Amino acid sequence: MTLQNRRILINKTVMVLSTAAAIGGIIFLFWILAVLLFKGFAALNFDIFMYDMAPPGREPSGLRNALVGQLMLVVGASAIGVPAGVLAGTYLSEYGGKKSRLARFIRDISDIMMSTPSIVIGAFVYAVLVAPFGHFSGWAGIAALAIMMIPIVLRTTDDMLQLVPGSLREAAIALGAPKYKVIIQVVYRGAKTGMLTGILLSIARIAGETAPLLFTSFSNNFYSTDLNQPIASLTVTMYNYATSPYEEWIDQGWAAALILALFVLGANIIGRIIIRKREGEH
């Protein structure tokens, strides 16, 4: 066999194996989605959104308190994580410099934080905000989710701002615009699509987290909006219901999984649409 034929054979073999692996992954993905949609829609009803959690066998029963709690945690974490991540990314891109030791150090720490298991972050927040006060709280859950958001938003903002041509900055400065106006009115406008995509993906990431909330906000079987106390969340409720021996709770756990999956899927789809729109404009 000649060298050329051997290379062709290796190429075809790798292509076949890669295609088979991709098809296998897609099959499992659609299998999971099919089971989730089938069992989730079967358990989904109007009571889920109108009533709070109830003991097994007691009607009506729903997930209103968990839905409200999840919304509060995600919104609260976004209110902290998004501004902090955007400001930090702006500093790295516009003030830190590419060769600065401090900027390189922050980028390295951000990459490490992005790959850190969420349960480690939950344990850290537990030691800092839960154990010293002697009780779980919604604020601790918000802090844990915000810590997870910041490195994602930071890296996305940093990368997107660096893609903005330097000539735009120079033109604005030549017209007499101060640095902060150049960033807000020129650089942000040029990178807004990518920055928004990163924010949406970070929100989708934290919306499906359970482990850090088990250490921080824990859970609450009753309707509560007091962030100084344990607060219910959709992810922890889904975990508790899915591992319970009661059929009614298991069904509601499937409904919670469907609602959460649709939210995360919707956020990711919106992010992809924004990316394609940006690519189409360029």
* Mean per-residue pLDDT, 195-216: 90
The Cα-based distances of 277 to 191, 239, 270 in angstroms read: 13, 37, 10
38 and 54 together in one domain: no
Q: Helix/strand/coil (H, E, C) string of the chain?
A: CCHHHHHHHHHHHHHHHHHHHHHHHHHHHHHHHHHHHHHHHHHCCCHHHHCCCCCCCCCCCCCHHHHHHHHHHHHHHHHHHHHHHHHHHHHHHHHHCCCCHHHHHHHHHHHHHHHCCHHHHHHHHHHHHHCCCCCCCHHHHHHHHHHHHHHHHHHHHHHHHHCCCHHHHHHHHHCCCCHHHHHHHHHHHHHHHHHHHHHHHHHHHHHCCCHHHHHCCCCCCCCCCCCCCCCCCHHHHHHHHHCCCCHHHHHHHHHHHHHHHHHHHHHHHHHHHHHHHHHHHC
User: What are residue 15's phi and psi, to 5 degrees?
Assistant: -65, -40
The pLDDT value given to residue 225: 92
pLDDT in tens, 24-77: 999 998 999 899 999 999 989 899 999 999 888 788 889 999 999 999 999 999
**Within this chain, do residues 66 and 182 fall inside the same structural domain, yes or no?**
yes
Residues 127, 203 share a domain:
yes
Res 279: pLDDT: 59
Q: Examine the domain organization and report whether 7 and 142 are in the same domain.
A: no
Residues 125 and 20 in one domain: no
Q: 226 and 138 in one domain? A: yes
Q: How many residues does the chain have?
A: 282
In the chain, the number of structural domains is 2
Residue-wise pLDDT for 120-166, tens only, equals 999 999 999 999 999 999 999 999 999 999 999 999 999 999 989 98
Give 280's pLDDT tier (boundaries 50, 70, 90). Answer: low
Instruction: Indicate whether 7 and 101 sit together in one domain.
Output: no
Per the structure, the complete domain to which residue 217 belongs is given by 50-281
**Same-domain status, 30 and 121:** no
- 207-217: pLDDT as tens digits: 989 999 999 99
Render pLDDT for 214-258 as a digit per residue (tens, 0 to 9): 999 999 989 999 999 999 999 999 999 988 889 999 999 999 999
Q: Which of 119, 62, 56, 71 is nearest to 246 (CA)?
A: 56
* 71 plus 108 within the same structural domain: yes
The pTM score is 0.87
- Please indicate, yes or no, whether residues 124 and 225 belong to a single structural domain of this protein: yes
Q: Are residues 203 and 149 in the same domain?
A: yes
Same domain, 208 and 275: yes
